[in-house]
Amino acid sequence: MRTLDDLLDDGDEGVQGRTVLVRSDLNVPLDDDRNITDDGRIRASAPTISALSGAGAQVVVTAHLGRPKNGPEERFSLAPVAERLGDLLGAPVRLVELGKPLPNMAAGDVVMLENIRFDARETSKDDAERGAFADELVALVGDDAAFVSDGFGVVHRKQASVYDVAQRLEPFAGGLVLSEVEVLRTLTGQPDRPYAVVLGGSKVSDKLAVIEALLPKVDSLLVGGGMCFTFLAAQGHGVGSSLLESEQIDTCRTLLESGKIVLPTDVVVADAFSADANTRTVGVGEIEDGWLGLDIGPDSVRDFGSRIAAAKTIFWNGPMGVFEMAPFAEGTRGVAQAVADSGAFSVVGGGDSAAAVRALGIGEDGFSHISTGGGASLEFLEGATLPGVAVLEEGA
């Protein structure tokens, strides 16, 4: 695939004065007052936009926020995102409503289109509907514009601003997408061993495909988070009121036959899903009825940590517990710190894992790579074709 560097080096004048449409992933969390609570994706997206602006391009950024259902909704406006991006770039980023013409732009200017999902055609399953919207985006920037795909968190979706636009404009992979693909190809190639994978999160069903894809390739697969209780049930343990996918128990029992899956030996349980609940640490065979597991326990953290320390390649996706509540954050903190201290080639698989690293104050420089796309990372490791990557390769 052609890259951002290819675009910047293209011809004597590069992108000076040329319009470049950039698809970024700026889907950041906001609090009730619409303050950004984690700007990691904006910071990760800024270098590509800055490089284009600095080279004299007229940069038009598309992105989404949340899942609007009925057209424009104020709570899903990208206004706070545009403001934060402007802070990082050191220049204002104007927000343009969908369907409105672009303002007059000089070389180096950056504008952002309002939430691309305010138009339902963006995510339509109908190729013609998506194509019509892509045609409108191309008409907005001109058919001589370049397209830079830099939103790795959406490349696993066949959406108008990700896939269809790349078929209509000269496409290039942004620095963020390129680095993500290179890192994940390392994990799916011949990684240094021992290769350890740490998976957390709520449901086995959400991670089943990646577990099945990774088990033959890894030396150990450490399982925490809510999903561990279905595995524990498969071993014959009672799990009280913990999260349980009973329909996945037989599947988990089969997966355990690999001998590579490592489960917690103790858990932090509570009598309610609340930061103010009564809590205690118990062995995995001692969870009483009415109590639910909300974190892995200290013995499990030590065990997981020793296995992580011995690894040379690590992929971690999913928290070990409900890290947003202080009583249930230590499992995730301990595992994250162990990965950061390991000295291994370590990849944090985006989503809640990346948020946990920042929320718990773990130094980001301790990790080789922190992905911006949890779902895209998992689908890549599953061996799935990512439409937003495939279209860049086709356009090379």
Residues known to be catalytic: 41, 203, 351, 375
Whole-number Å distance between alpha carbons of 339 and 304: 10
Closest alpha carbon to 267 in 223, 309, 215, 308 = 223
27 is in an annotated binding site: yes
205 is in an annotated binding site: no
25 is in an annotated binding site: yes
DSSP 3-state assignment of 283? strand
293 is in an annotated binding site: yes
352 is in an annotated binding site: yes
DSSP 3-state assignment of 75? helix
Asked if 345 and 352 touch (Cβ cutoff 8 Å), the reply is: no
| Residue type for position 229 | F
65 is in an annotated binding site: yes
Whole-number Å distance between alpha carbons of 381 and 383: 5
| Angle, vertex CA 258, rays to CA 252 and CA 261, nearest 5 | 65
For residue 126, the tally of other CB atoms under 10 A from its CB is 9
- Tokens 């999260």 belong to residue: 243
Strands 266-270 and 292-296 turn out to be: antiparallel
207 is in an annotated binding site: yes
Please give the DSSP secondary-structure letter assigned to residue 111. E
64 is in an annotated binding site: yes
Asked if 369 and 175 touch (Cβ cutoff 8 Å), the reply is: no
What 3 state SS string does 125-194 have?
A: CCHHHHHHHHHHHHHHHCCCCEEEECCHHHCCCCCHHHHHHHHCCEEEECHHHHHHHHHHHHHHCCCCCC
For residue 380, the tally of other CB atoms under 10 A from its CB is 27
7 is in an annotated binding site: no
Whole-number Å distance between alpha carbons of 65 and 70: 14
Question: Binding site: residue ranges?
Answer: 25-27, 41, 64-67, 117, 157, 207, 293, 324, 350-353
Question: Binding site for (2R)-3-phosphoglycerate: residue ranges?
Answer: 41, 117, 157
Question: Binding site for ATP: residue ranges?
Answer: 207, 293, 324, 350-353
